[in-house]
Every structure is written in C-alpha cells, then in structure tokens.
Amino acid sequence: NAGVTQTPKFQVLKTGQSMTLQCAQDMNHEYMSWYRQDPGMGLRLIHYSVGAGITDQGEVPNGYNVSRSTTEDFPLRLLSAAPSQTSVYFCASHLGGQYNEQFFGPGTRLTVL
Amino acid sequence: KNEVEQSPQNLTAQEGEFITINCSYSVGISALHWLQQHPGGGIVSLFMLSSGKKKHGRLIATINIQEKHSSLHITASHPRDSAVYICAVSPSTRDSNYQLIWGAGTKLIIKP
C-alpha cells in the first residue's frame, strides 16, 4: 500500500494564481482531511470529508475548496492564492469512528509570492 | 485557553537523558493521540490510547483520564529522537465528526 500520497511536494505561486493540491489514499478510508501547518502553531483543519460526496468546513476554510468524488481522492483547490496561504499542507485519512488513528501524507510546501 | 495544551514548548537535552513531554486537555475524550514529526518531514502516529499505558521500544505513553493528562516518555534518548511531538485528542461528543483537537507541539532536540 502506498498509504496517503500528496502532490506536488513543493510549489511556488504568484498572488492570484489558482492551483490544486492532490491527495490520494489506497486504504479505503472514509474520512479524509486537509490541514495547514504554520510555524509556532498546531495543525489547523481546512476541510474534511466523511465519505465520497460529503465534505464540510474546518477551522480555516476561507480561500479553499474541496470535492470528494471518489473514496480515494480528496483534492484541495486554492482559488486565488494569497501570501497568507503560504504554509505546509498535509492531507490525512482514517477509518472513521472515535478511535481514529490518522495517516498523513508527506506534505506540500506552498509559497505564495 | 486552548483545549489541548502541551508542555514544554521546547526541550533540549543530552543524549541518554530521560525525556517527558506533557499534554493536558479540557474536553471529554474517547482517545488521545501522540504523533511525531521530524524536521522537514511528514507526521507519523506513535500512539493512540484511551486508558493506562502503552510502550513501543523506548517510547512510553501514559494517560490519566480523571486528571485529563497524558505524558510521553522517551528512555535513553538519542539524537534521532529530535522531532516535534504532537498531542491530539478525539472528543467524545457525537457532533465532533471524529475530528481531532490538536496541541501546538513540543520541539525536542537531543544533543550528542
């Protein structure tokens, strides 16, 4: 199993550009999440999904869109990149339920100029 | 006040020392997680526990549900243990949608 994969690993954007961060998992996990990690701060939840076709907002959803058309894939779209979105982005998945061990992707380091 | 607080924020120790990282939380939980993140690296789950104690190699995690407190211990610390250690809790409320509440992390540096 590849686990959780993310692409790209690094990305530099100009303000106003759009892009999609890809996330896929091959563990048949229902739950998938996107987090951002900023220096000195804990992980902050952007959006999450509890199954194909179902998504919801997390703590910091503004400026981001998600969709979940399949169980495996959960892309994160930046609609119009801003310098405040410079961060490291992690995708995670888990089986669901209360005892939800999280599996993380390797992260995408995004810089917005 | 954050619902999950870790201490210390930063910890530097010499190789071989016994390390303790603490996590306190203020909500009812069904489970507590400890995760590890090496510099520039991904995040790996170390432990998930809801009571008592778990051990894996030189790592030991304990939890006291009544006191809402957990500790992560590292015995015979080694420079390769240098990482950020993150505590997170699974709230026991039904409307949490099983999303975790995250601590800010403890940055550990072990010097040779």
Among A105, A106, A98, CA closest to A25: A105
**Rounded to an integer, what distance in angstroms lies between the CA atom of residue B103 and that of residue B1?**
12
Across the range A38-50, mean pLDDT stands at 89
pLDDT value of residue B98: 65
B15–chain A nearest CA distance, Å: 25
The whole-angstrom distance between residue B36's C-alpha and the CA centroid of its chain comes to 8
- The pLDDT confidence band at residue A8, using thresholds 50, 70 and 90, is very high
Q: Which residues of A touch B47 (CB under 8 A)?
A: none
Task: State the average pLDDT for chain A.
Answer: 93
The beta-carbon contacts of B58-63 under 8 Å, at least 24 apart in sequence, are: B61/B34, B63/B32
Contact call for A100 and B35, based on CB within 8 A: no
A2–chain B nearest CA distance, Å: 14
- The pLDDT confidence band at residue A96, using thresholds 50, 70 and 90, is confident
| Angle, vertex CA A94, rays to CA A93 and CA A99, nearest 5 | 150
Q: Which residues of A touch B4 (CB under 8 A)?
A: 42
pLDDT value of residue B95: 57
Task: Judge whether A100 is closer than 8 Å to chain B, CB to CB.
Answer: yes
CA atoms within 13 Å, Cβ hemisphere of A22: 8
Q: Which residues of A touch B44 (CB under 8 A)?
A: 104
Task: State the average pLDDT for chain B.
Answer: 92
For residue B43 the two structure tokens come to 């995040």
Task: Judge whether A5 is closer than 8 Å to chain B, CB to CB.
Answer: no
pLDDT value of residue B2: 80
Above 70 in pLDDT, residue B109?
yes
Above 80 in pLDDT, residue A98?
no
> Comparing B37 with B40, which gets the higher pLDDT?
B37
Across the range A27-51, mean pLDDT stands at 91
pLDDT per residue as tens digits for the range B46-99:
999 999 999 999 999 999 999 999 999 999 999 999 999 999 998 887 555 667
For residue A46 the two structure tokens come to 């952007």
Contact call for B97 and A48, based on CB within 8 A: yes
Q: pLDDT exceeding 70 applies to what percent of chain A? A: 98
